[in-house]
Amino acid sequence: MRILMLGDVVGEPGRRLLEAFLPNLRRELSVDFVVVNGENAAHGYGITEKIARHWLEVLGVDVITTGNHALDVKGVSTYFQQEPRILRPANWSPGTPGNGYIKVHTKTNEEILIINLLGRIGITTLADCPFRAADAILARERADVALVDMHAEASSEKQAMGWYLDGRVSAVIGTHTHVPTLDCKILSNGTAFVTDVGMVGAHEGVIGMDRHSSLSRFLKVKGDKWKVAENDLQLHGVFIETKGRGASRIERVMKKLK
């Protein structure tokens, strides 16, 4: 299976990048399945039902993953309950609206399992253990291909999850910190891994947000209100090719809007 995983889409600039490049990327890479992290799609925080519907129904995104900002937009929890293709972290407390994983039958006549996990180091949102959550899901679900979005602050926690699931899933893809790392690789037991896939948004700022408002957070007792950055628009992601349950290839994808 040929999978395209795109990093956190940040605000309107990120949504514009997705519109501009996703159709061509699908054709260029002969992609079978597309996963996009949308937790920052609405003004940098959360996602709306309108945005998610457009991605799923018009752009052809197969699954939307999220993270600690999944339910930030007022009223969106109802949509998470209704639409199984948009995920929130699987290791949030029982009773949280929505689903933390989904199994999809693809056009290549394979089943793919997508699991959304949230790290606990440096994350203020309370979550249960992501390692035990992964164990529980994999104990009850079987699929030809399995992909994990490990949404976490600490590189160590993301790398630990990669090794923990090596050989049990096809890929562990780190998200959340918005800065692409150089360590795309196939681990020793066949799992594709990258510490952070990066983001889809404006890079003339601080992790997608306006640099002036971001700097104020470091220089003032009370910083300015955050705004989404607008310039140097770049799309970052990874292309994964699976072979059996494991992966045979992982490569970075980068596009820039001129």
Catalytic residues: 69
Decide: residue 141, CB within 10 A, 0-12 exposed, 13-18 middle, 19+ buried: middle
Euclidean distance between CA atoms 215 and 210, whole angstroms? 9
How far lies 123's CA from each of 21, 87, 90, 127, in Å? 31, 18, 15, 9
Measured in Å, how far apart are the chain's first and last C-alpha atoms? 31
Beta-carbon contacts of 34 under 8 Å, excluding residues fewer than 6 positions away, are: 3, 4, 5, 6, 22, 26, 60, 61, 62, 63
Euclidean distance between CA atoms 83 and 71, whole angstroms? 14
Phi, psi at 222, each rounded to 5°: -120, 110
Q: Residue with structure tokens 């514009």?
A: 16
